[in-house]
């Protein structure tokens, strides 16, 4: 019987359990995927801790991103999917589907064949990071040559994707990380500037880099009190994307600064793009084209075998990684 990760109570990685499950059978609009690799995301950590944008319905499965081979399709599905190598796009609720398992059910609308030049490990590190960054920076903000873009928590897979997108568009990326430990690596990954926010004056550095103009676009998953500094660093008429709440602290709105500057503070998740076919199609093409010509390269921080999935999530929560953590399935 195939195994999957499930949890029956809210808590840290220690609540995750391997469970044997009956061989899953796809229903309408679904496929069964023989999983080969699983990309881990901070969203899943927040989900099993009860800190995500929605609460888990216990017992719950886990996982947005997997790559593998389609084994079977539902009764109404195109049988040409069978045998194809695909990866899953986060376009569903974790209360409906979970990708952390040896064999999983996935909705057809969330499938994408991955480029042949990518390994199966790299293919599990595409959609969450690139579509999250694409939707905000390109789909909404229209980042262009010469724009200054602040990318907070830049060592995450989404942060690295945002650096690559800024570079591809000719924008100037200003990456942030808490300490100097990851600065050199972020520069090697293409960041034009890197600020260690616990060691340097973030606002002063942004003003210096931008010639006093501020950054037109800020892409931030941290929130909390840091929003006040972001508001001080953004350009008049600029936009601050809040796509996460990693600080887990209250986020007071710096109202006066926002009023004076005419700044937009916008909540955002990639589901705005992954669940709308007319938005997802151009996002996929944008990513595919840049994966094919080498402008985008999924950064893999570390891999773990399936048997060490719990340890992999513990490593995710350590914040030691630069890039994506991937679990491989035999």
Whether omega for the bond prior to residue 181 falls within 30 degrees of 0, making it cis, is no
Task: Give the class (CATH, top level) of 129-269.
Answer: alpha beta
Is the per-residue pLDDT at 115 higher than 90?
Answer: no
CA distance 118 to 234: 37
Tell me what the mean pLDDT of segment 172-190 comes to. 95
State residue 74's pLDDT score.
95
Question: Is the sign of the CA dihedral 222, 225, 227, 231 positive or negative?
Answer: negative
Percent of the chain whose predicted confidence (pLDDT) is above 70: 100
222-237 residue pLDDT tens: 999 999 999 999 999 9
The pTM of this model reads: 0.93
Q: What is the 3-state secondary structure (H, E, C) of 162-196?
A: HHHHHHHHCCEEEEEECCHHHHHHHHHCCCCEEEE
CATH number of 3-126+298-328, picked from 3.90.180.10, 3.40.50.150, 3.30.420.300, 3.40.50.720: 3.90.180.10
Domain ranges (residues) in the chain: 3-126+298-328, 129-269
Is the per-residue pLDDT at 41 higher than 90?
Answer: yes
CA distance 281 to 199: 41
80-98 residue pLDDT tens: 999 999 999 999 999 999 9
267-301 residue pLDDT tens: 999 999 999 999 999 999 999 999 988 899 999 99
| DSSP reduced 3-state for 245 | coil
């Amino acid at each position: 019987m195939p195994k999957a990760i499930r949890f029956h109570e809210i808590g840290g990685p220690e609540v995750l359990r391997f469970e044997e499950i009956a061989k899953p059978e796809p229903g309408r609009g679904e496929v069964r995927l023989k999983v080969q690799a699983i990309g881990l995301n901070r969203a899943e950590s927040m989900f099993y801790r009860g800190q995500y944008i929605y609460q888990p319905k216990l017992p719950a499965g886990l996982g947005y991103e997997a790559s593998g081979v389609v084994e079977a399709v539902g009764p109404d599905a195109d049988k040409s999917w069978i045998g194809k190598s695909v990866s899953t796009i986060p376009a569903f609720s974790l209360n409906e589907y979970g990708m952390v398992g040896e064999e999983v059910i996935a909705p057809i609308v969330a499938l994408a064949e991955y480029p042949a030049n990518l390994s199966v490990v790299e293919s599990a590190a595409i959609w969450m990071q690139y579509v999250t960054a694409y939707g905000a920076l390109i789909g909404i903000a229209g980042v262009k040559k010469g724009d200054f873009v602040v990318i907070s928590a830049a060592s995450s897979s989404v942060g690295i994707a945002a650096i690559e997108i800024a570079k591809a568009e000719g924008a100037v990326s200003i990456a942030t990380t808490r300490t100097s430990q990851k600065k050199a690596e972020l520069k090697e990954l293409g960041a034009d500037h890197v600020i260690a926010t616990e060691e340097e004056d973030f606002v002063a550095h942004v003003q210096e880099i931008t010639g006093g103009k501020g950054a037109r676009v800020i892409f931030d998953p941290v929130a909390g009190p840091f929003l006040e500094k972001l508001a001080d660093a953004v350009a008049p008429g600029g936009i601050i994307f809040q796509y996460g709440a990693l600080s887990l602290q209250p986020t007071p709105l710096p109202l006066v600064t926002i009023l004076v500057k005419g700044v937009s503070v916008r909540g955002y998740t990639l589901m705005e793009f992954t669940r709308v076919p007319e938005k997802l199609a151009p996002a996929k093409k944008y990513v595919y084209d840049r994966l094919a010509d080498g402008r985008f390269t999924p950064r893999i921080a570390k891999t773990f075998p399936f048997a060490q999935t719990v340890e992999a999530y513990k490593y995710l929560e350590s914040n030691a990684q630069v890039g994506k953590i991937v679990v491989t399935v035999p």
